[in-house]
Structure 1
Amino acid sequence: MTLGAGEVFAELILLLDQPYPTSGRALTDVQLYKLVPDDFWKMLELCPGVMRRILKIAVERSQIHETVTQQQAKLISLGTLSAGLAHELNNPAAAVRSNVQNLETALQTLPSLALRLHQQPFTAAQIAFLDDLYQRATTAAIESSSLDPIAQSEAEDAIADWLADREIANPWQLAPMLVMAELDAARLDEVAAQISPDCLECVLTWLETTLTSIKLLEEIQLGSTRISELITAMKNYSYLDRSPLQQIDIHEGIENTLIILKHKLKYGVSVTKEYAANLPQISAYAPQLNQVWTNLIDNAIDATNGKGQLWIRTALEDECILVEIADDGAGIPGDVRSRIFDQFFTTKEVGKGTGLGLDIARRIVGQHQGKISFTSEPGNTRFQVRLPIK
């Protein structure tokens, strides 16, 4: 802030008996009148008019400070979520873009292969064989499960050798898809027995290109579905299209939060979920509660350094819903546990924490007439949120 003539500052700090965590400098020549704490309190005692004015200033500034603090916390949370969402969207979007380019190449190749096959004097029996071959290979390719890297490599080498022995071009390029279609050397021998040698390369290239196109379409579908799921999760997370106070499913909010934070989970955090069956809905401000789950889960991930175990448990306790989020990190040191919910207090390194997350969580839970507590020891830190059903 910028202060002018006749204004006071640090009255909140004196009222709260806290050290003054702010620095300032004079932009012009200035005279300051400084009161030490004892003189400040003596002045309030002797001058009721001054006391009323000081208290009014303190209340107004406290309200401004509270509003700015909450907005700052929301912006920090939004920035974190936006970065994570952008990261998560980028992966499937890049995969879709790459697969579309590869599919375009395959589709440009297929017409010429089809024309070459059409020129071949296939009998009715050969056409029936090719149709059966196509159907079986397509089904196998779609339903195939991944082999371990060594088995995959050995199978591809065997197919590539088979193709090279028959002087078929680009055997290394054809082999992976033929393996996925479960066409081993024995099966390829059956194909070679049905198709003339001068047409074998065209048939296998056509089959490989067709299967590649089908797999690319499948991967494009998976990528676009993932993008849609992320957008839906973000929309549900923020509840953009719903009224502020509503009946909500706690599990839905937690699941959406996990999707939003997936970019922090996938490098080594294992999540175990123990959800109570038939948990009733509660009346709540959904976006605010999602901020609670975000702060608690994010803190738990940081406590494990991104590589550990995370537990999320829900239960019904009397007239309340219990949500417990636990981790196997180092735990909260005993000498700071009494300050863990204080505003601007953080145990994280400089630049990694603002000290606002747990304070905001405490305020939101309190707004819902609930309670938040924790227990902590090395390898077992548990935050428990209890929210009334009604």
Structure 2
Amino acid sequence: MNIDALRYIPLFAELSPEESRCVELGEEIVVPAGEVIARKGDVGTFFDVVLEGEVRITLTHESREVATIVKTSGWFFGEVELVMDVPCLVDVCARTSCRLLRFSKEHFSALLRLCPAVAKEILRTLAVRLRALESFSQQREKLVSLGTMAAGLAHELNNPAAAARRAASELHTVAGRLPSLACRLNKQQLSATQSDAVAHILREMTSRVGLTIALDPLTRNDREAEVLEWLEQHRIADAWKLVSDLVNAGLDRDWLEDVGQRVPQEAIGDVLGWIAGILSLQELTQQVEQSTVRIAELVDAVKAYSYEGRAPLRDIDIHEGLESTLTMLSHKLKGITVQREYDRSLPLIPAYGNELNQVWTNLIDNAIDAVNGKGEVRIHTRREDHQLVVEIHDNGPGIPEDIQPHLFEPFFTTKEIGKGTGLGLIISYRIVALRHGGTIDFESKPGHTMFCIRLPMTRNTAADQAR
């Protein structure tokens, strides 16, 4: 191999005569256009330098291309996988016919050991690529968190929004009936005593709206049957239309008998129709109010979760962030029991709230995945000396002992290819340790896993310098 001809390659430009023999460790190969050189997820076994031609590098996520670049002669690849001992992180394909200088894993190690100038350039490039990849992955983790938040928010908003629309539509119908009901009641020409009795009944009923106990289906069916029977016995027109509103208000046959004693027989239907209309109006108004309150709570949760972008260091209530995260993940909590063991006496702490929320999202989401739709997630907060402690427990199967030492390694994941980035825990570690001067550790055995986060209650000088 002509060593002088390789000096146009930046990697080999500074080779000394003694180091130039290292290049002979490589094997020159030709790759035809369109052939895959490296595939994401495969074991990395080669270090390649492009001598001629063009290669296309594609970064994918869940089978979708998220970034593509084209490189020509002088570009090299494979060092990240060999140095970090991780699977291939990207797909590499020959865009044109390519001539490569390929080093096996063993010869790559020798290249680093025997050629300081080459090793310096490779390691410098490795550091740059890892920083770029980490930055990209952090942004993707944030997008995953936002996607999780958006999915949860859409799911949670759907129920109160649909309830509010339904109640508003029914309100329009009920409000349209009330004037005619009022006219019919006025035509009854009730005495002052009877009018007072009707007013008293109405006040009594409206005070019970929202306070009645929900009936089980069997009891409700029985109650509706006896109310309908009483109404039909008293020849009340369209009796079936009144039954639901009266039963919803907690009324039964005994109450109807009492009304029958206080108003004339010919006025019972109009009195009950008017009362049922008012009760329905108030119940629907209450449903709209409850729905709008729930929507407002969700909006507040989103604001608390996001802290409106990259917020500065400020004093935060750790429980607000935990609750906002649980709200965002609530669509994944069906069938799962969430136990909150909060020490509400804990003080506010200086922190980057939106970054900590990313930590809570990673850890709680992992716990949810671990229990697989049935089990318990427990969140415990407490004080320990001058630190605030947050523990996130789950009763899932536990983390196998053989993979526990690797949990905080970059790109390590136990999830299927494309399902996990392998960066959630390392990003969480850096947020906790480097951004906040805290610690994050875990313990796990079959049936129980616990991640423990310790955060300083006062500003950490070392962490401030790291920022």
Whole-angstrom CA distance in 2 between matches of 1:213 and 1:200: 20
Residue type at the aligned position of 2:134: E
Work out the CA distance in 2 between the residues paired with 1:46 and 1:349. 38
CA contact (8 A) 1:140 1:180 kept: no
1:226 paired to 2:312: no
CA distance in 2, matches of 1:319, 1:246: 18
- Structure 1 unaligned segments of length 5 or more: list them: none
2:118 alignment counterpart: 50
Q: 1 CA distance for matches of 2:88 and 2:369?
A: 30
Give the TM-score of the pair, scaled to structure 2: 0.79
CA distance, structure 1, for counterparts of residue 169 and residue 454 of structure 2: 51
Residue number in structure 2 paired with 1:74: 142
Q: 1:53 to 1:352 in 2, by over 3 A?
A: closer
Q: Map of 1:321-340 to 2, 5 A cutoff?
A: 321-340=388-407
Q: Shift of residue 18 of structure 1?
A: 4.2
Aligned to 1:295: 362
Match of 1:304 in 2: 371
Q: Structure 1 326/45 Cα, relative in aligned 2: closer, same or farther at 3 Å?
A: closer
Q: CA offset at residue 51 of structure 1? A: 3.5
Stretch deviating more after TM superposition (343-352 or 141-150): 343-352
Match of 2:234 among 151, 166, 169: 166
Structure 1 residues 111 and 242, CA gap change in structure 2 (3 angstroms): farther
Retained in 2: the 8 A contact 1:177–1:212? yes
Of stretches 185-194 and 289-298 in structure 1, the one that deviates more from structure 2 is 185-194
72-81 or 357-366: which moved more?
Answer: 357-366
SS class of match (1:128): helix
Q: Which residue of 1 aligns with 2:38?
A: none
What's 1:317 paired with?
384
Q: Which amino acid is the alignment partner of residue 316 of structure 2?
A: I
Change (3 A) 1:18 1:152: closer
When structure 1 is superposed on structure 2, of 2-11 and 77-86 the one drifting more is: 2-11
- Find the counterpart in structure 2 of residue 6 from structure 1: 74
Bigger strand fraction: 2
1:134 matched to 2:239? The reply is: no
Question: What CA distance in whole angstroms lies between the structure 2 residues aligned with 1:383 and 1:26?
Answer: 44
Does the aligned pair in 1 maintain the 2:311–2:354 contact within 8 Å?
Answer: no
Deviation at 1:191, TM superposition (A): 2.1
Counterpart of 1:346? Answer: 413
1:46 Cα deviation from its structure 2 partner: 5.0
Report Cα offsets for 1:142-167 as digits up to 9, x if no partner: 32121232222211111011112222
Q: C-alpha distance in 2, partners of 1:77/1:316?
A: 28
| Distance change >3 Å, CA 218–CA 253, structure 1 → 2 | same
- SS at 2:101's partner residue? coil
Give distance in 1, aligned partners of 2:85 and 2:191: 97
Tell me if 1:238 matches 2:306: yes
Question: Post-superposition shift, 1:130?
Answer: 0.6
Residue identity over aligned pairs, in percent, reads: 44
Instruction: Give how far 1:217 is off.
Output: 0.4
Answering whether residue 15 of structure 2 is matched by residue 15 of structure 1, we say: no
Structure-2 separation of matches of 1:269 and 1:79: 21
Larger Rg: 2
TM-score by length of 1: 0.93
* Matches for 1:121-160 after TM superposition, within 5 Å: 121-160=189-228
Provide structure 2 residue ranges, at least 5 long, that are not aligned to the other structure. 1-56, 58-69, 459-467
Q: Secondary structure at the match of 1:322?
A: strand
**Change in CA separation of 1:16 and 1:192 when aligned onto 2, cut-off 3 Å:** closer
CA distance in structure 2 between the partners assigned to 1:256 and 1:18 by the alignment: 35
Tell me the amino acid that sits aligned with residue 343 of structure 2. A
Out of 268, 278, 300, the position equivalent to 2:345 is 278
Query: 1:280 is paired with a residue of what secondary structure?
Result: coil
Residue type matched to 2:121 in 1? Answer: R
- Over 3 Å counting, the alpha-carbon distance change for 1:220 and 1:74 in structure 2 is same
Q: Give the whole-Å Cα distance in 2 for the aligned partners of 1:185 and 1:162.
A: 7
Mapped to 1, the partners of 2:107 and 2:441 lie a distance apart of 40
Structure 1 pair 39–321 and aligned structure 2 pair: CA distance change class (3 A): same
What CA distance in whole angstroms lies between the structure 2 residues aligned with 1:375 and 1:172? 61
Please point out which of 104, 120, 123 is paired with 1:36. 104
Q: Distance in 1 between matches of 2:260 and 2:84?
A: 89
1:38 and 1:264 mapped to 2: Cα distance? 47
Equivalent position amino acid for 1:323 in 2:
V
Shift of 1:350: 5.3
Instruction: Deviation per CA, 1:110-156: give whole Å up to 9, x if none.
Output: 11111121222111111101100100111123321212322222111
Change (3 A) 1:206 1:351: farther
Count, aligned residues: 389
State which of 160, 173, 176 in structure 2 corresponds to 1:108.
Answer: 176
The equivalent of 2:449 in structure 1 is 381
Name the structure where helix makes up a greater proportion of residues.
1
**Comparing 59-68 and 40-49, the one that deviates more:** 40-49
Over 3 Å counting, the alpha-carbon distance change for 1:59 and 1:342 in structure 2 is closer
Match of 1:194 among 262, 276, 280: 262
Residue aligned with 1:324, SS: strand
* 1:5-46, Cα deviation, whole Å (9 max, x unpaired): 221112223333445454422111211111223433444455
